[in-house]
Amino acid sequence: MTNLSVARSAPPAAATPATSGIAPEASLAGRIAAEIESGKVELPVLPEAAVRVREIVGAGGSARELVSVIEREPSLAAAILRYSNSVAYAGLREITDLHQAVMRLGFSAVEQTVIALSARNVFQATDKADEQIYRALWTHSIATALAARRLAPRASDFNPEAVFLSGLLHDIGKVVVLRCAALMRRRDPARFTFERSTLVEFLDALHCNAGDRLCRAWNLPAEIREVVKRHHDAALDAPGDALVAIVQLANGVATKIGASLEPDPHVSLLDLSGAALLRLDDVKLAALLVDVEDDVARMEEGF
């Protein structure tokens, strides 16, 4: 079995391979990890439109090509138009044409918007029994993305939409683990029907590696993959760690306001690397919490 590093919040034994004499949960976590590594679990698929948009942008394609993909998906087309007329572009003439919208936003923002909207489909439960946990995971992902976007202007090098997307996808590995657990439950319900708390432990222990695998399958940019893989690392003070540290702090904000599978109002945000990096003190963090709570309440209705 591939050696699995364990996320910081995970119980240390949870990713240990199955051997006699260890806790049953630990051997089950090892079993899930082995299933994922074996490639038997069908990974979530990035929707076709997102794949095409990525290819076109990557190959230096034209706005016309992008528009031809986006216009086939009414929800995408509507979102791109809405975005091009959003407050960020207040004062500019209203755009009603998709080609002009793509030109105003730029290819990179269009690509990020398409991937973000596509992610919604990936966070859909494959089994009815898991609907509640998927819903909570989606809310957590949105809250983390919104918090990350609020933090982005404090760091000089990042585009807010790229930071938003990193926040949105940071726990995408949990979808892989949930799918694997559902597959095992379908095969052998008596043995693999887990309590919610046990399932959450598995998610904590395995999601960073599972997410890394998915990032490779989707060919996502290296910086997003780093976030997915390392957002529970304790030390994030190397020069290249800023985006991971921002998303880790955003994850802490989401957890503290209750938008999490494991809400915790006592999370100490000041202790996270991102707080020092962005020079945030208690007062600024308290204001951030209020802003993100408002953002989440608005977003839950519309996204």
Residues found near Fe ion in the complex (CB under 5 A): 171, 251
> What is the smallest separation between the CB atom of 207 and Fe ion, expressed in angstroms?
6
Between 107 and 138, CB nearer to Fe ion: 138
> What is the smallest separation between the CB atom of 137 and Fe ion, expressed in angstroms?
9
Between 166 and 251, CB nearer to Fe ion: 251
- Angle at 80 (CA atoms; ends 74, 81), nearest 5 degrees: 90
CB 164 within 8 A of CB 288: no
> What is the smallest separation between the CB atom of 169 and Fe ion, expressed in angstroms?
10
- Angle at 292 (CA atoms; ends 290, 295), nearest 5 degrees: 115
CA distance 60 to 196: 46
Between 84 and 251, CB nearer to Fe ion: 251
**Cβ-based neighbour number of residue 8 at 10 Å:** 13
CA nearest to 180, candidates 168, 192, 191, 169 = 192
Phi, psi angles (nearest 5°) of residue 194 = -95, 150
Between 25 and 171, CB nearer to Fe ion: 171
> What is the smallest separation between the CB atom of 228 and Fe ion, expressed in angstroms?
9
> What is the smallest separation between the CB atom of 124 and Fe ion, expressed in angstroms?
18
CB 6 within 8 A of CB 14: yes
Between 57 and 203, CB nearer to Fe ion: 203
